[in-house]
Amino acid sequence: MLTSVLVANRGEIARRIFRTARSLGLSTVAVHSTADAAMPFVGEADAAVQLPGNAPADTYLRGELVIEAALKAGADAVHPGYGFLSENAGFAQAVIDAGLTWIGPPVDAISSMGSKIEAKKLMAAAGVPVLAELTPAEVSVDDLPVLVKASAGGGGRGMRVVSRLADLPGEIEAASAEALSAFGDGTVFCERYLAAGRHIEVQIMADQHGTIWAVGERECSIQRRHQKVVEEAPSPLVERIPSMRAELFDAARKAAAAIGYVGAGTVEFLADEGGAFYFLEMNTRLQVEHPVTEETTGLDLVELQFAVATGAHLPPKPPPTVGHAIEVRLYAEDPAQDWQPQTGVVRRFALSGKKLAPGGENVPESGAGRWPRMRVDSGVEDGSEVSPYYDAMLAKVIVWAPDRTSAARRLSAELTRATIHGVQTNRDLLVWVLRHPAFLAGETDTAFFEKHGVGVAVGAEVLRASALAAALADAAGRVGPVRVPAGWRNVPSQPQRNAYRVGDVTVAIEYRLTRDGLVVDGNMALVDSAPERVVLEVDGVRRAFHVGTYDGLVCVDSSLGSVALTPVERFTDPSQQVSPGSLLAPMPGTVIRVGVQVGDEVKQGQPLLWLEAMKMEHTISAPADGVLSELRVEAGQQVEVGAVLAVVGEEA
């Protein structure tokens, strides 16, 4: 009988597993890096053990330290979550050798699927459809485009799309280096690339007595950088093609049976619009997107993992799928800047106007038995810091409803009303996707963003109204309880002036407060103002703007959207100025490659340096034609956000 479980993971998945463990009467143990010491998952565990250091290679990927922590804390089981060591057969064996229960599949099954190259051979022999593997040396022009993939891992790391044969050697080298850094194995292979395929996966649950469930399928086609952004169950494509579900389930069960699978796993397929599908990989662990399956079946997949690991029998058949569930991954990132991850402190994080219960769980307003249901699996709360060392996902927001359209409508509305201050997120992009006609029509292939762009630009009028609200809230705060904004003059002279920056855009505001009220150029009138809430009439429509003010940041939420404003100081600190042509680090990270030397002529857009941060590789390119006059970093060097990496001067 299990009594205590250590979760060898962090963030939202650690909280998710703790939630089920507590419901089963198990005590919980967390491991954490130095950077994660104050994160919510650590505080929610009954016991916690620090793994000194910050980088994953020094902490969460150190299997021997994790097992030592489990033994020290008195745990008798280890749950790996997803990522990190979850698909490491050596770690699973070491857990078992230490006398602990491994909450995962058999070691041999992990080994069988650990190499994508060998996995595809096994699946082909079992009768599962596969895409032919291509060795880099045999790729020809007729095979293009091809996808270069890491053999040992997933999550978009070590993956490159190659459309020109001349680019193949360089992309293979880059993919191999990224795979080696992420998974400790630089092996890569190529396969035919379906630019507009559908990513369909089947949830598997199998016990130790030969019962294999195909619990339901999910569609995860909307992706960026080969990483999933929106997931749903059931799949719109499979719903449209009547015979496809039975064929998918049969192939998934064959895949599981071929390797003697036990526990929760996912068989992933790439499908075309006609319903033909091909095996991609099998994930021998819980998936990030497992909540949509739970919401449509009523199952707790983590509870089943514990049950199967201790020898329980599954019923002959899984429960049926009911209704529709959609999950979105809320990331700290800037979609308009090539999905650049963001770091910083989450000042406020709330959905439906309330802070979330520990571990996320269903938002209180959902109510038992009501629909649509909303669930939030979150790794952060007010005051949490998003560090550069780990994935930038803040939370998963999931809505279930009787039909797909209702689920999309409720989820987009909840995201619109959410209060997320302190770091930039992809929230507006997610709302745009959920309301896009192509998404609502079920046209959700992997080329969604290539086809439709990234519709996240904030209109000039929204920026201007939000900036005015920020200025008036600031003025109201300086006056106190009188509720008359600062700047009022009996005999007005100069207008009040405020300026804010949003990305590369500066919004300047001028206004007067007179006996007749607010005087501002344009179509806005003041109804009421207070330090945290300003009501404006915009084009004859009254709207409330909720203002959150923090050190160097003002966040404004309204029905028009959410805007994060950086106040522009009237006088610039000379110490903060940098030379023209300076390349600044967009985030903290590690310089992994330098492609130029001082004195080299460079062209605008030419890649000069490569940074690794937050599980991604980022290219730093030349801002203009010129000559590299300074190079201040070298490969392997850690840099902070805003650090000057190099300077491009004018051509001689």
Structure tokens at 67: 């097992």
pLDDT digits (tens, 9 = 90+) for 328-341: 999 999 998 888 88
User: Which amino acid belongs to residue 1?
Assistant: M
Annotated active-site residue in 15, 157, 285, 464: 285
- At residue 592, the pLDDT reads 87
Cα-Cα end-to-end distance for the chain: 76
CA–CA separation, 246 and 544 (whole Å): 51
- 285 catalytic residue (yes or no): yes
- Under the phi-then-psi rule, with left for phi > 0, alpha for psi from -120 to 50, and beta for the rest, what region is 453? left
Q: Kindly report the number of other CB atoms within 10 A of residue 652's CB atom.
A: 7
Residues 6+ apart with CB under 8 A from 523: 538, 539, 540
CA–CA separation, 99 and 80 (whole Å): 16
Task: Compute CA distances 518 → 8, 320, 399, 486, 560, whole Å.
Answer: 57, 60, 42, 12, 21
Query: Of 476, 486, 329, nearest to 396 (Cα)?
Result: 329
CA–CA separation, 613 and 629 (whole Å): 26
CB 86 within 8 A of CB 66: no
Q: What is the dihedral of CA 183, 184, 188, 193, to 10 degrees?
A: 10
In three-state secondary structure terms, 81 is coil
Average pLDDT of the chain is 89
Burial 6-38 (b: 16+ CB within 10 A, else e): bbbbbbbbbbbbbbbbeeeebbbbbbbbebbee
- At residue 354, the pLDDT reads 52
Res 363 pLDDT > 50:
no
CA–CA separation, 399 and 146 (whole Å): 36
Query: 69-83, 110-124, 468-482: lowest mean pLDDT where?
Result: 468-482
CA–CA separation, 412 and 352 (whole Å): 12
- At residue 369, the pLDDT reads 46
CA–CA separation, 83 and 69 (whole Å): 19
- At residue 619, the pLDDT reads 86
Q: Residue 500 is inside which H or E element, if any? A: strand 496-502
pLDDT, mean of residues 338-353: 88
Query: 140-144, 219-223, 253-257, 514-518: lowest mean pLDDT where?
Result: 514-518
- At residue 488, the pLDDT reads 56
List, in order of start, the domains of the chain with CATH numbers: 4-103 (3.40.50.20), 132-192 (3.30.1490.20), 323-457 (3.30.470.20), 460-567 (3.30.700), 575-649 (2.40.50.100)
Q: DSSP letter at 24?
A: T
- At residue 193, the pLDDT reads 83
Query: 58-72, 277-291, 304-318, 514-528: lowest mean pLDDT where?
Result: 514-528
Structure tokens at 143: 């095979």
Write out the DSSP string of 576-627: G---TTEEEPSSSEEEEEE---TT-EE-TT-EEEEEEETTEEEEEE-SSSEE
Q: How does residue 365 score in pLDDT terms, banded at 50, 70 and 90?
A: very low
- At residue 575, the pLDDT reads 58
Q: How does residue 268 score in pLDDT terms, banded at 50, 70 and 90?
A: very high
CB 341 within 8 A of CB 587: yes
Query: Of 37, 25, 55, nearest to 390 (Cα)?
Result: 55
Q: Kindly report the number of other CB atoms within 10 A of residue 349's CB atom.
A: 25
Q: Kindly report the backbone phi and psi dihedral angles of residue 472, in degrees, each rounded to the nearest multiple of 5, phi listed first.
A: -70, -35
pTM: 0.87
For the four alpha carbons of 165, 169, 174 and 178, in that order, the dihedral sign comes to positive
pLDDT digits (tens, 9 = 90+) for 103-150: 999 999 999 998 888 898 999 999 999 987 788 888 888 888 898 988
- At residue 157, the pLDDT reads 75
CA–CA separation, 597 and 148 (whole Å): 29
Q: Residue 473 is inside which H or E element, if any? A: helix 460-479
Res 18 pLDDT > 70:
yes
In three-state secondary structure terms, 407 is helix
pLDDT digits (tens, 9 = 90+) for 141-185: 888 889 898 887 666 677 888 999 989 998 998 888 888 877 778
CB 71 within 8 A of CB 1: no
User: Which amino acid belongs to residue 357?
Assistant: A
Write out the DSSP string of 281-315: EEE-S--TTHHHHHHHH---HHHHHHHHHTTPPPP
User: Which amino acid belongs to residue 262?
Assistant: V
Q: What percent of the chain has pLDDT over 90?
A: 65
For the chain, the farthest-separated pair of C-alpha atoms sits apart, in whole angstroms, at: 88
Q: Which residue has the higher pLDDT, 457 or 583?
A: 583
Three-state SS letters, 98-161: CCCEECCCCHHHHHHHHCHHHHHHHHHHCCCCECCEECHHHCCHHHCCEEEEECCCCCCCCCEE
Instruction: Provide the edge-to-edge strand list for the sheet that holds 607-613.
Output: 616-621, 607-613, 589-594, 638-639
- At residue 574, the pLDDT reads 63
pLDDT digits (tens, 9 = 90+) for 575-598: 566 677 888 887 778 898 899 999
- At residue 580, the pLDDT reads 77
Residues 6+ apart with CB under 8 A from 473: 529, 530, 531, 532, 533, 534, 545, 547, 549, 554
CB 534 within 8 A of CB 547: yes
pLDDT digits (tens, 9 = 90+) for 530-545: 999 999 998 889 999 9
Q: What percent of the chain has pLDDT over 70?
A: 92
**Residue linked to tokens 């919004």:** 507
Query: 43-47, 270-274, 384-388, 477-481: lowest mean pLDDT where?
Result: 477-481
Residues 6+ apart with CB under 8 A from 433: 222, 229, 230, 328, 439, 448
Cis peptide before 402, with omega less than 30 degrees from 0?
no
